[in-house]
Chain A
Amino acid sequence: MDLNDSVSLQEVTRVLQEEVKLAARPHNYLLIDLATHTIHIKGRGLDLYRIPIVAWSFRMPTAVHGTYRLIARPPIARRTVDPTVSVEQAPLSLADMPTTYTLSFIPALTIEVRPSDEEDLFRRMWAGAKTWWRSLNEWASSLSRGESSSSDPSPYLLLELSREQAQSLAWSAVDGMPLVIRLATDKK
């Protein structure tokens, strides 16, 4: 990072300020760094695991909040142990995690994760359609509430990750997990 770039320094300082608060607590947290295309799974300020972001797009109509909290993540199909059956239940593994899913946070933020190698044209179009449908719904509901058409929809971040890394993120994201986003401010 260029210490003489005030714009980038301001953003990094904002993120650091949040991190200092989060690192003092016993919970792990996520740092999505759009400047370096990396998701950091962190705890006690340590980098526990890094996930490279292949591509991202961020619709950010309102100011970015300091810390978001995960309130909804993809459902996991856990196996139930049946004492009456002698066959051992297969445990959960990374391979059971989804590659396409949505994470919801408070304050309002939606993160959609998709595999970057999705080559199926229909699936890509379907994913695109879902994004537009979401925007359309938000617009329609703001109209029905009598708000002006310029009122802000909730922020939406689309992340394209490799399949394995999408599964890693799904595995590590636990309810209530804090999230900080570092915006890309570099002027390259």
Chain B
Amino acid sequence: MRQWLVACSLLLLIGVPTASLSQRSESATPASPPAVSASLVTFGHREDPPPALSSLQARYKALSKQLSRLKPQEPYILVDTARNHLYLKRRDDILVDALASTGSGTILPKPGETSDQWVFDTPRGAFFVQSKLLNPAWVKPDWAFIEEGLEVPRNQADRIEQGVLGAYALGFGKGYFIHGTLYTRLLGKNVTHGCIRLNDDDLKSIYRVARIGTPIIIF
């Protein structure tokens, strides 16, 4: 057992290669041919005759076309939550590059519930503009009161706050909006409850181009 352990330690120190593929991008000479053939053997097509090159080329072109058709053909909104940027793009062209604020990632426990909580993340994935609002009013949800240590009002009218979301808002479902902010000094930071904040000028540019159905892709 001891000899075996010593042997293992030695292997660890000298780094004996396993049956694996590896590459380093700076390396002048990429992986050697034997490694390549290893990948093909394990790929699982060894027993099948390779498809004819022409049929492969045709398949490749058809699939590329299919994938290309799934990409937004009209302008779309792209949101980078890690770097807090919102882009309006048409294909690969950037039409607007805006500093944004996205979800803070903080959590707020729901009162009276031991396990349930609000998580203030901006959702990731593909969405689309579902509503366009002019001079939107904020209907404050429960968490907005609880977070400030206030009681949740029973009267709906007490939830409404004017002038905090800017001149426009674009809804993309489940209460999430792209809207303006009074706190422009916080643009570029993850500070929101999940909505996406922009400054007035950028918001106006986005609002003008976006239509109901404009894709919003968030990562």
Please give the residue numbers on chain A whose beta carbons come within 8 Å of chain B beta carbons, in ascending order: 3-4, 6-7, 9-13, 16-17, 19-20, 23-28, 34, 37, 41, 43-46, 48-49, 52-64, 76, 78-81, 83-84, 89, 91-94, 125, 128-129, 132, 135-136, 156, 158, 160, 168, 171-172, 174, 183-188
- Determine whether B154 belongs to the interface, using a CB cutoff of 8 Å to chain A: no
Q: In the complex, are the beta carbons of B42 and A16 less than 8 A apart?
A: no
For A186, what are the chain B residues with a Cβ–Cβ distance below 8 Å? 30, 36
Given known A56-B23, A92-B106, contact A48–B219 (CB-CB < 8 A): yes
Q: What is the bound-complex CA distance between A84 and B53, given in angstroms?
A: 69
For B205, what are the chain A residues with a Cβ–Cβ distance below 8 Å? none
Q: In the complex, are the beta carbons of B66 and A20 less than 8 A apart?
A: yes
Give the size of the chain B interface in residues (CB under 8 angstroms).
65
Given known A26-B125, A132-B12, contact A9–B20 (CB-CB < 8 A): no
Indicate with 1 or 0, residue by residue over B80-111, a CB within 8 angstroms of chain A CB atoms. Answer: 11110000000000000000000011111100
Taking chain B's interface residues, is the majority helix, strand, or loop, or is none over half, making it mixed?
mixed
Q: What is the bound-complex CA distance between A103 and B53, given in angstroms?
A: 36
Please give the residue numbers on chain B whose beta carbons come within 8 Å of chain A beta carbons, in ascending order: 8, 11-13, 15, 18-26, 30-31, 33, 36, 39-40, 42-45, 50-51, 53, 56-57, 59-60, 63-64, 66-68, 70-72, 78, 80-83, 104-109, 119, 124-127, 146-149, 189-191, 215, 217, 219
A92 closest partner in B (C-beta):
B105
Given known A9-B60, A44-B71, contact A80–B190 (CB-CB < 8 A): no
Q: What is the bound-complex CA distance between A120 and B202, given in angstroms?
A: 45
> Which residue of A28, A44, A60 contacts B124 across the interface (Cβ within 8 Å)?
A28
19 A-B residue pairs with CB within 8 Å: A3-B60, A7-B50, A9-B56, A16-B67, A19-B63, A23-B67, A23-B71, A25-B126, A34-B23, A41-B219, A44-B215, A45-B70, A46-B71, A58-B22, A61-B42, A78-B105, A80-B106, A81-B107, A171-B82
For A61, what are the chain B residues with a Cβ–Cβ distance below 8 Å? 19, 42
A9 closest partner in B (C-beta):
B56
Q: In the complex, are the beta carbons of A49 and B219 less than 8 A apart?
A: yes
A174 closest partner in B (C-beta):
B124
